Amino acid sequence: MTDIAMNPPAVKRRKRGLTRKHSPVKTTAAIVLSVLLIFFFASPVVWIYWASFKPSASLIGSGTQDLVFTFENYKNVWKNDFGRFMFNSLFICGISVIISTSVAVCASYVLSRYRFAHKKWLFGFLVLTQIFPWIVMMTPLFIMFAKFDLINNHFALMFCYVTITLPFSIYLMVGYLEALPIDLDEAALMDGCSRFQTMRHIILPLLAPGIVATATYSFLLMWTEFLLAIALLTKTSLKTLPLGLALFFGEETVDWGAVMAASALTTLPALLLFLPVQSRLIAGLSAGSVKG
């Protein structure tokens, strides 16, 4: 819909742009500024990938221009359990996303479709959880999980990940559901569907793009989560990617090559998943429904 709304003005504007002359000084300034901005935004990311293929030694001092490329850093991080961390992250985030998204679909469907008392409080509660500083919950959660012997337990972390992603998943999903006319639900009910059948046959297929966007976003949030993971996972073999990345910072000496390779590996899935959903998320954001 935004495409339809946006295209005609863009065309109009371009036409007008051609008729108007810009001074060469302004044009040069715009080009310089653009190059600087692109450099500012892109160079650190480019640097991660570039440096991850450089020998660690060349990253110290001013030897960074050497055109020596190596897979040494990747081999290095792999040797240091990075595969393990990646598997842990995939396992934890994968399962959590499935649970979180399913639970969010159920709740947001009812929130968007049914009238019931105290709904306002439910929304208010969601806001509360969204703005709550997670750091404050670290100690209580740590103590609670320690009591039930759930430290170093992946399922405990999954529970946390499901709940921290639920509030904005529900917001996002309610937004997507609002775009589906309620007449469709009613038509399905008239056609003899039960409430569950209505969801299964009518709502879920139509909500699929929204579900994908929401799930991707939840996944990214979990994929990069650090705080809860560091509180709940102390055993190295159980750690997730962000914790693994932090492990490469030694006390005094930092193996920058390895750190860059680890960063590159952590960022790549995020980049690949993020790009396809970004426009949908930008749309949701101005409505104030996404956690960034």
Partner 1 sequence: METTIVTSQYPALELKNVEKRFENVIALQGLSFSVEPGAFVAIVGPSGCGKSTLLRLIAGLEATSDGEIWLDNEDVTEASAGERGLAMVFQSYALYPHKTVRENMAFSLKIAKRPKAEIESRVAEAARALQLEAYLDRLPKQLSGGQRQRVAIGRAIVRKPKVFLFDEPLSNLDAALRAETRVELAELHQRLAATMIYVTHDQVEAMTLADQIIILNAGQIQQMGSPKELYNEPKNAFVAGFIGSPKMNFVSGTINEGVFQSTDLSIPGLGQTASGAITLGVRPEALMLADSDKGIGQIEVSIVEYLGDESVIHGRLADGTPIILREKGGVELNTGDRVFIDIENVDALHFFSPDSGERIVRSPKTPNKG
Partner 2 sequence: MLSYSKDQRKFVLLMLLPAFGMTAAFFLWPTIYNIKNSFTDLSLLGLREGGKWVGLDNYIALFNDSDFKKVVFNTLFWLTFVSVSIRLVLGFAIALFIESQLVRRLRLTVPLRMAALLPWATPDIVAVTVWKQIFDGRTGVINNKLLEWGFIDQPIVFLGDPSYVWPAVITIIVWNGLPIIVLTMAAALQTVPRDLYEAADIDGAKSWTKFWHVTFPHALPALAVLGLLTTIWTFNNFIYVWMSTSAGPGTFSNVLATEVYLQAFVNFKLGLSSAIGTFMAALAMVFGVIYFRYVVTKRFGGLM
Q: What are the CA-CA distances from residue 244 to residues 34, 83, 158, 164 (Å)? A: 36, 10, 18, 21
Smallest gap, in angstroms, from Cβ of residue 17 to partner 2? Answer: 4
3 state SS of 33: helix
Contact partner, 93, from partner 1, partner 2, none, Cβ < 5-8 Å per class: none
Binding site for partner 1 (CB under 8 A): 181, 183-184, 186-194, 197, 201-202, 205-206
Of 1-9, 69-77, 80-88, 207-215, the segment contacting partner 2 by CB under 8 A is: 1-9
81: left (phi over 0), alpha (psi -120 to 50) or beta: left
Number of residues counted as binding partner 2 (CB under 8 A):
116
Cα dihedral across residues 276, 279, 283, 289: positive or negative = positive
Report how far residue 55's alpha carbon sits from residue 71's, in angstroms, rounded to the nearest whole number: 8
Site for partner 2 in 80-139 (CB under 8 A): 103-104, 106-107, 109-116, 119-120, 122-139
Phi, psi of 216, rounded to the nearest 5 degrees: -60, -45
Looking at the Cβ atoms of 140 and 205, the one nearer to partner 1 is: 205
Contact partner, 89, from partner 2, partner 1, none, Cβ < 5-8 Å per class: none
Looking at the Cβ atoms of 40 and 196, the one nearer to partner 1 is: 196
Looking at the Cβ atoms of 78 and 274, the one nearer to partner 2 is: 274
235: left (phi over 0), alpha (psi -120 to 50) or beta: beta
Site for partner 2 in 37-56 (CB under 8 A): 37-38, 40-42, 44-45, 47-48, 51
43 token code pair:
């160079």
